Structure 1
Amino acid sequence: MLRIDKINFSIDGRPLFEEASATIPEGHKVGLVGPNGAGKTTLFRLIKGELTLDGGVIDLPSRARIGGVSQEVPASQTSILDTVLEADTERAALMKEAETADGHRMAEVQTRLADIDAWSAEARASAILKGLGFDTPEHSNPCSAYSGGWRMRVALAGVLFAQPDLLLLDEPTNYLDLEGALWLESYLAKYPHTVIVISHDRGLLNRAVTSILHLEDRKLTYYGTPYDGFVRLRAEKRAQLAATAKKQQDRRAHLQSFVDRFRAKATKAKQAQARLKMIERMDMVTPPEEAAKRVFTFPQPDELSPPIINIESGATGYGDTIVLRRLNLRIDQDDRIALLGKNGQGKSTLSKLLADRLPLLEGHMGRSSKLRIGYFAQHQVDELHLDETPLQHLRSERPETQESKLRALLAGFGLQAAQAETEVGRLSGGQKARLSLLLATLDAPHLLILDEPTNHLDIESREALMEALTAYNGAVILVSHDMHLLSMVADRLWLVADGTVKPYDDDLDAYRALLLAKDTPPKVEKPKAEKPKRAPRETILDLRAEVRKCEGVIAKLEEMRTRLSEKMADPALYDVAHANELAKWNRKSAEIEEGLRRAEALWMDAQEKLDAAAQA
């Protein structure tokens, strides 16, 4: 059991915890959530004893082992498998001692090695490395063969292998792909000891943990439910607080009104004084503050004729090395496509080809002549000019635009006045990601390619990004380990595997189940027979496209109706001299109403068919 009892802690005079308390039962899996900068990572450091409390107690069972990924593995010549094995320091020490021990001590060492299942250690370490994306032949490679992100995976593998009594993980999926993140979810759900994980991944917080520890306003609140249940309970709690605060304010106003009216009257002075004391004794409830609204405002592109990209028998790669071949792909402007596949299979290569950053080495690719493409990749966040402000970044892109408009663009991505003039090097990871997304969408692209856009975004920002992508009129190609985002945005799935790209003939839940069930390639669409039967998945995608098309028509007609209503509100139009013009606008109004009626009927028909197909 972990007991946090009335802790206090400040940094540079700013309090992060004030009389904060919580109890984590042994063996529970807990998600630690709260606003950026609230002190989640600081709490981990306090638990590990790296920082000293100003007051209060953090109590753990004696000899409890605490583990976490504090930094990446050094670029040494030690193999990644041996690096993971060495993370279990007790086993490593016993194995070394076994080489020289004799007699009675040798028996003790061997007994202890058996107790900790030391002889299966290599198989267990290999399984963890494989789950995190390292194929078996790679396990003998030195750590120096891998980049920083991959060495972070080795560090994560090490702490999972060591199985500490209290496992502390800070945003562990940030350096994993979807496959690695899904494996980690499953592993944590079955982990034999206590886990606390800081994460903004809604899927992980719903599937891998059973409780939520919420840090807000320098206090800790424990909710015995996964994330979605926490959101519901917190909303109910906030509503109750708001209602109680409103009742108290009304009661106080009523008492104060009596005091103000009768304080000066001798006959009522005593009663007024009594009510004044009642006001003073009232323990007022502070109404909860509204959560800051996270926003993304994508500019909408003009409409192009389909397809906007069409590839036939294509191949691409780097120099003379072909990474992907046999590419037969089509993208329309209303497509929402998620790329699936393990790291290293070519998702980023395909993204770069579509973004015109890699050449087509074989085959043919047709593009709309007016096609504009926006491209966001995680490395672009690191390529921002650290000594320049977001405003300066925009001035470089739009030197002729007024500063007020540039500031409005920044505000549309949640970068307010203070952040607009702060050097990028001092911004948070989420703020940098917002700036990169703004730069990627500045030209109102018809196709938006997003490669891991959520790594530094909190949950509210991820929800805002999802809403913006849903409202966006362009095509979206999405690579992300955030399964919730993929499930809410994508209506087509492409699998990048075995050197090519194919439509994935199932949904995300099936893909997740398949990955967790066995280590075999997911099912891809089979070649069609001469007279193919239309697949249910394809039917659903077509119906979704039809629903979106109807919704677009309805929106345009409603906009026309609004403009026409404004025009027909002009009193001058109803003069006798304008009778012909009024008749013309009345006919136009009738046409719009009839068009709306038909469009809504088509929408209802398409929606009913979609609902029926989804339930089939």
Structure 2
Amino acid sequence: MSLLTISDVTIRIAGRVLLDGADLAVDPGRRIGLVGRNGVGKSTLLRAIAGDIAIDGGQIRLASRARLGRVKQEAPDGDASLLETVLEGDPERLSLLAEAESEATDPHRLAEVHDRLRAIGADSAPSRAATILAGLGFDAAAQARPVASFSGGWRMRVALATALFAQPDLLLLDEPTNHLDLEATLWLESWLAKFPGAALVVSHDRGLLDRCVDSIAHLDRGKITLTPGGFDEFVRIRTERAAQQASMAEKIAEQRAHMQSFVDRFRYKASKARQAQARLKAIEKLPAIEAVVEDAPTRFAFPEPQQIAPPILSLDRVSVGYGGAPVLRGLSLRVDMDDRIALLGANGNGKSTLAKLIAGKLEPLSGEMRRGPKLKVGYFAQHQTDELVASETPVDHMARAIPRAMPQQVRAQLARFGLDADRADTPVANLSGGEKARLLLALATRDAPQLLILDEPTNHLDIDAREALVRALADFSGAVLLITHDPHLVELVADRLWLVADGSVRPYDGDLDEYRALLAERARPAARQDAPTRRDERRERADARAAAAPLRRRAKEAETRIARLTDERKRIEAKLADPGLYAPGRAADVTAAQTRLAAVVRAIEAAEADWLEAEEALAAASA
């Protein structure tokens, strides 16, 4: 029997049909990812399941006595500690404890109460709550603090912890990673993978959808289609179905055209009239194949920056912080044009502080920061949404940011990030979160910066927009500094990792899988000890991985440089093949292109040599 059954459900919001006769069944223990473009109704469906809104048709049935868990919309508040707040998320336990302490409880009922308390693990509840809070980034000291002492984002983590702690039969999660850092996201992935109950998860995080769900429910044009497997499998199946459907539609169209041609030629000839009528009937019986309707692909494009000499930015024993108190100390780092750097480290360790320093929003407390004289920095952060003027349009914002630009140039910059004419003229108050993020990206890159700092750029972007961002960053010839909770984005974009922890920033030589393993090892309870031989074997393997990590990182960085430089060489060669480049008065452009091409060719040769050296060293180490 299904835990949740959605039958022929229709939902309208403000006159717009979001769901139109949709069906879905969630069996016990199933974990389903609910996906679809922004605005199709995913969050609305979760609210309908929870009973927050009424449906316009059909039926939503939850199995009797099934417990439903969800993250509350309002962040928790008050003087209760984090641990107390999470423990209150299991009302059955609280009720049973109160009944057990009541003098009015008769002995038979008291025995039942204690049996039930043992069954739900009431004694271990504080430990379980503390483990969940620790996984979401709260240490023992933080767990004892009142909820009201935390910011809104951290309190939403407490709300998530409360929902996880309740151990519901069906867990509803709507973008659960939006308020998490990468470390907490990785922990949540691990928790969900082991969760014994059913879950319906709305998420645009491909990594989470691939590692934590067993089916994908695709909400599109009011209908829900269920496919087995994670998101990658969903994409494969959907692509194959679309190809098969298009092929079948083409064959039937050809068959129909052939028959119609015969009818058109012979329907008025007495000798062929009977055959013509037969073919008319055959045409009517041909199956109707619904056309494959694909949404227009989302495309982003960053302006091409002017090349400047390396390093474009360097730090020498820099300390930075607020009000004279340093958050980070002794920073000695450099950034080059071809760098793709992702920052690791839990929230509160200083990642955003480092980003603000590099963006020029903060000045060093000590040490020296050197910037290229022509360096332009584009800075994107989600909190900038609060700085947008709700009554103004994207065109208004962009025109104010580039006052000397012509109207068509203003709109062209917005169009780079998918803000077409209609959305460009829509007041910010009426834009979705994803559309506001696109506006912020357009504003951040209006000057064609050589260094792009992206602080949680994907929070409100759907999966298609995230993929568009990945493609645009691959084509971008400047440097990127990335802060994100999205492992998929890190793996596809970054070729260098910096770990921000303990008041410092240092290169991390492993990859993201090794960082996952490191976090899992740290999270392992200290009391849980393996046999010495297994522990020693694990340590030896870890030491071997650590020794080889710098070489693997070096080879990977070289591969990325080769790919990026090869793309740039193709663009320059195409430019040099354009006859328009050799028009009168453009001699300087020709010289600049030829000079850059020669530099790129030398850089490719150096990168190839670096890759070969690293691969040979790896082969020798594993021999």
Taking structure 1 as the reference length, the TM-score comes to 0.89
Map residues 371-386 of structure 1 onto 2, 5 A cutoff.
Answer: 371-386=375-390
Structure 2: how far apart are the matches of 1:468 and 1:330? 24
* Aligned match of 1:209: 213
Change (3 A) 1:606 1:562: farther
Structure 2: how far apart are the matches of 1:365 and 1:594? 31
Tell me, yes or no, if structure 1 residue 321 matches structure 2 residue 336: no
Structure 1: how far apart are the matches of 2:362 and 2:418? 32
Change (3 A) 1:172 1:99: same
* Aligned match of 1:524: none
* Aligned match of 1:554: 569
Task: Report how far residue 501 of structure 1 moved.
Answer: 0.4
**One-letter amino acid matched to 1:174:** N
Structure 1: how far apart are the matches of 2:549 and 2:517? 25
Structure 1: how far apart are the matches of 2:599 and 2:467? 34
- Any idea what the Cα deviations from partners look like across 1:55-95, whole Å, max 9, x if unmatched? 33333321111111131333211111111100101111122
Q: Which of 414, 418, 425 is the matching residue for 2:422?
A: 418
Which residues of structure 2 form unaligned runs of 5+? 525-546, 584-589
* Aligned match of 1:51: 53
Structure 2: how far apart are the matches of 1:286 and 1:131? 47
Structure 1: how far apart are the matches of 2:596 and 2:100? 87
Task: Report how far residue 220 of structure 1 moved.
Answer: 1.5
* Aligned match of 1:573: none
**One-letter amino acid matched to 1:19:** G
Task: Report how far residue 344 of structure 1 moved.
Answer: 0.5
Tell me, yes or no, if structure 1 residue 166 matches structure 2 residue 170: yes
* Aligned match of 2:77: 75
* Aligned match of 1:579: none
| Partner secondary structure for residue 369 of structure 2 | strand
Preserved contact between residue 249 and residue 289 of structure 2 (Cα < 8 Å) = yes
Map residues 73-222 of structure 1 onto 2, 5 A cutoff.
Answer: 73-101=75-103, 102-104=105-107, 105-222=109-226
* Aligned match of 2:538: none
Task: Report how far residue 606 of structure 1 moved.
Answer: 6.6
Structure 2: how far apart are the matches of 1:164 and 1:255? 59
Q: Which of 427, 431, 435 is the matching residue for 2:435?
A: 431
Structure 1: how far apart are the matches of 2:597 and 2:335? 33
Structure 2: how far apart are the matches of 1:21 and 1:241? 22
Identical counterparts, % of pairs: 51
Structure 1: how far apart are the matches of 2:558 and 2:348? 34
| Partner secondary structure for residue 270 of structure 2 | coil
Structure 2: how far apart are the matches of 1:540 and 1:108? 63
**One-letter amino acid matched to 1:41:** S
| Partner secondary structure for residue 577 of structure 2 | helix
Map residues 449-528 of structure 1 onto 2, 5 A cutoff.
Answer: 449-519=453-523
**One-letter amino acid matched to 2:348:** G
Structure 1: how far apart are the matches of 2:129 and 2:226? 33
* Aligned match of 2:309: 305
**One-letter amino acid matched to 2:155:** R
**One-letter amino acid matched to 1:562:** A
- Any idea what the Cα deviations from partners look like across 1:355-411, whole Å, max 9, x if unmatched? 111111111111111111110111012221111000111111122322122222211
Structure 2: how far apart are the matches of 1:17 and 1:323? 49
**One-letter amino acid matched to 1:178:** L
| Partner secondary structure for residue 341 of structure 2 | strand
* Aligned match of 1:261: 265
Q: Which moved more, 1:436-445 or 1:107-116?
A: 107-116
* Aligned match of 1:283: 287
Structure 2: how far apart are the matches of 1:244 and 1:398? 51
* Aligned match of 2:6: 4
* Aligned match of 1:528: none
Tell me, yes or no, if structure 1 residue 245 matches structure 2 residue 249: yes
Q: Which of 403, 422, 442 is the matching residue for 2:407?
A: 403
* Aligned match of 2:43: 41
| Partner secondary structure for residue 333 of structure 1 | coil
Structure 2: how far apart are the matches of 1:612 and 1:237? 44
| Partner secondary structure for residue 269 of structure 2 | coil
Preserved contact between residue 553 and residue 599 of structure 1 (Cα < 8 Å) = no
**One-letter amino acid matched to 1:536:** L
Preserved contact between residue 539 and residue 613 of structure 1 (Cα < 8 Å) = no
Task: Report how far residue 603 of structure 1 moved.
Answer: 7.6
Structure 1: how far apart are the matches of 2:146 and 2:374? 48
Q: Which moved more, 1:507-516 or 1:401-410?
A: 401-410
Task: Report how far residue 556 of structure 1 moved.
Answer: 5.3
Change (3 A) 1:552 1:288: closer
* Aligned match of 2:551: 536
Structure 1: how far apart are the matches of 2:572 and 2:129? 61
Task: Report how far residue 122 of structure 1 moved.
Answer: 0.6
- Any idea what the Cα deviations from partners look like across 1:554-578, whole Å, max 9, x if unmatched? 225513541259969xxxxxxxxxx
Preserved contact between residue 540 and residue 613 of structure 1 (Cα < 8 Å) = no
Q: Which of 2, 27, 37 is the matching residue for 1:25?
A: 27
**One-letter amino acid matched to 2:225:** T
Q: Which moved more, 1:332-341 or 1:539-548?
A: 539-548
Preserved contact between residue 76 and residue 159 of structure 2 (Cα < 8 Å) = no
Task: Report how far residue 298 of structure 1 moved.
Answer: 0.4
**One-letter amino acid matched to 1:313:** R
Structure 1: how far apart are the matches of 2:597 and 2:398? 43
| Partner secondary structure for residue 518 of structure 1 | helix
Structure 2: how far apart are the matches of 1:348 and 1:595? 34
Change (3 A) 1:601 1:249: farther
| Partner secondary structure for residue 70 of structure 1 | coil
Q: Which moved more, 1:359-368 or 1:6-15?
A: 6-15
Q: Which moved more, 1:98-107 or 1:294-303?
A: 98-107
**One-letter amino acid matched to 2:57:** G
* Aligned match of 2:65: 63
Task: Report how far residue 308 of structure 1 moved.
Answer: 1.0
Preserved contact between residue 433 and residue 460 of structure 2 (Cα < 8 Å) = yes
- Any idea what the Cα deviations from partners look like across 1:319-374, whole Å, max 9, x if unmatched? 12110001111111111100000110000110011111111111111111111111
Structure 2: how far apart are the matches of 1:365 and 1:337? 18
Task: Report how far residue 45 of structure 1 moved.
Answer: 2.2
Task: Report how far residue 592 of structure 1 moved.
Answer: 13
Change (3 A) 1:17 1:591: closer
Change (3 A) 1:55 1:536: same
**One-letter amino acid matched to 1:493:** L
Task: Report how far residue 12 of structure 1 moved.
Answer: 4.0
